[in-house]
Amino acid sequence: MNDVVRERSVEGCYVRAKYRQARDEAGNLLLASIEEEEKMLEGLPLVDVTKK
Domain contains 23: yes
Q: What is the pLDDT of residue 20?
A: 77
C-alpha to C-alpha distance for 33 and 17, rounded to whole angstroms: 11
C-alpha to C-alpha distance for 12 and 37, rounded to whole angstroms: 21
Neighbours of 37 (CB within 10 A): 14
Q: What is the pLDDT of residue 28?
A: 94
Q: Does pTM surpass 0.85? A: no
Contact 42, 35 (CB under 8 A): no
Number of domains the chain is built from: 1
Which residues constitute the domain of residue 36?
13-40
pLDDT digits (tens, 9 = 90+) for 13-49: 888 878 778 888 999 998 888 888 888 889 889 899 9
Domain contains 46: no
Q: What is the pLDDT of residue 3?
A: 85
Domain contains 20: yes
Domain contains 8: no
